[in-house]
Amino acid sequence: MEALNEDLQADTQSFEDAKYEETIFLEESEKTKKSKFCPPTGKCNEVITSVFLLLLLWIVIWSYKGIEIYPGGSLFGMLVIFYSALLGGRLMQFIKIPLVPPLPPLLGMLLAGFIIRNTPYIRDYVHISQVWSSYLRNTALTIILVRAGLGLDPQALAKLKGVCLRLSMGPCCLEACSAAIFSHFIMEFPWTWGFLLGFVLGAVSPAVVVPAMLMLQERGYGVRKGIPTLLIAASSFDDILAITGFNSFLSITFSAGPVYKSIIRGITEATIGVTGGIVLGYFIRYFPSEEQSALAWKRAFLLLGSSITAVIGSSRLGLHGSGGLATIVLTFISAMGWTREKKGVQKIVANSWLIFQPLLFGLVGAEVSVNNLEPNTIGVCVGTLSLSLLVRIAVTFLLVSFTGFSYKERFFVALSWIPKATVQAVLGPLALEETRSKNLPHLEMYAKNVMTMAFLAILITAPNGALLIGLVGPRALSLDDPQEAG
């Protein structure tokens, strides 16, 4: 009987223990479920945070500026364009094609600005003053130049200096000349405006080319012959040449008096820019010294601050050709003396670009109004752009001949030199700003056509160039060991 009671008590205890464990399990499950959804995590948390940050930013700006943040004010317009461009860039990242580099977010940013400008009800409340727009674009130009200067690798340039020089100078110059000829005869541009347009179109886009090349390099395509390294290095030089050429012809186009005076003025501005860049470059190389704390942040601040002062300050003084050259020279010289901190500075500058990129492409898209386009403008612009691109492809193919590249590799390099984006977004509206600031309404037609060409160049070549690089690269380049990259 006692044994029976003991068994009964043991069963009762086991049942109670099991029930207790089940209760604990249910409580833990409920707690886990609550912690998963309250507070929310993942994408839901990210969306709520973004919305709150948007609201908080609006309230903070309202606290300082009041009416400027209301619909119709410049700050309101800037915020609408900025967040719309961010959303457009994010949506573009959802479009994924297997074995193809992702479409550049800048395309979505450009389209976001374009949609805002051409949507009837919204465009009545989204305005940004020309002064603000100009300063924002010039700051974006400065960041592009700083990134180009930091991206110049002396070792890679020494290894590939011959073909790199040809690839960075030849296609840009010959496309600029061909665009000047085609625009003169097709669009009836004056020669100076033709060359100005040519250097707007002549630049390749590192924002499209570099990520695509890095993707191929990580997978081991073409690394033995250094093709991704070559294209990454040459893209920076290509942009520098296009910006320098544009500034030269901008000065010639809007200068009064004989052409030889404009040429002398251009040489003088270039000399001032190079000299100032050398002085500032050596200063930033050694100040601050390496034992100081937060070294990368201090160097990045000095680099960006000096460069913005050079670009915007030189424009204010009328030395339009000096600022860009000074920025490139000071960045390259200062970075040559840095060791470990260079990557830290590059990261900080890249993060600043994440802020100005949506503003830049959103503003460019918002400058293009469908109502102001003449019926035949788009067709003529696309025709001129297409002919110039054909010249660029043919010239690039010829210039990388006799370099040890196979026929397929040369064809790939030629197609990789198609994408256009960042430089076109910066330079495209500058001529229109100049005509408005100098009150030259008879030149606005040419300036608007230049801006339309820049818009179409980004819209057509950026996505198609990225697709061609992703599709042709694995078929045209040899598959090597990724460790050989360098």
Tell me the average confidence (pLDDT) per consecutive run of 10 residues in the chain, 486 residues long. 52 54 55 57 75 79 73 80 87 74 80 87 80 81 81 66 80 92 91 92 84 79 80 79 84 73 76 88 85 84 90 80 82 81 83 86 82 77 91 91 84 90 84 84 88 88 85 82 52
* Dihedral angle sign, alpha carbons of residues 234, 238, 239, 244: positive
- Pick the closest to residue 296 from 332, 353, 349, 333 (CA basis): 349
pLDDT of residue 480: 67
pLDDT of residue 482: 54
Instruction: Give the separation between CA 58 and CA 353, rounded to whole angstroms.
Output: 22
Question: Domain 70-484 belongs to what architecture?
Answer: Up-down Bundle (1.20)
pLDDT of residue 5: 53
pLDDT of residue 20: 54
- The burial class, CB within 10 Å (0-12 / 13-18 / 19+), for 363 is buried
pLDDT of residue 390: 93
- Pick the closest to residue 177 from 160, 198, 151 (CA basis): 198
Q: Would you say 249 and 301 are in contact if contact means Cβ atoms under 8 Å apart?
A: no
According to DSSP, residue 68 is labeled G
The pTM of the full predicted model, rounded to 2 decimals, is 0.76
Output the six-digit token pair for 187: 């669009």
According to DSSP, residue 51 is labeled H
- The burial class, CB within 10 Å (0-12 / 13-18 / 19+), for 383 is middle
- The burial class, CB within 10 Å (0-12 / 13-18 / 19+), for 87 is middle
pLDDT of residue 4: 46
Output the six-digit token pair for 233: 């290095």
Instruction: Give the separation between CA 152 and CA 39, rounded to whole angstroms.
Output: 46
pLDDT of residue 459: 86
Helices vs. strands in the chain: H and E counts, helices first: 20, 0
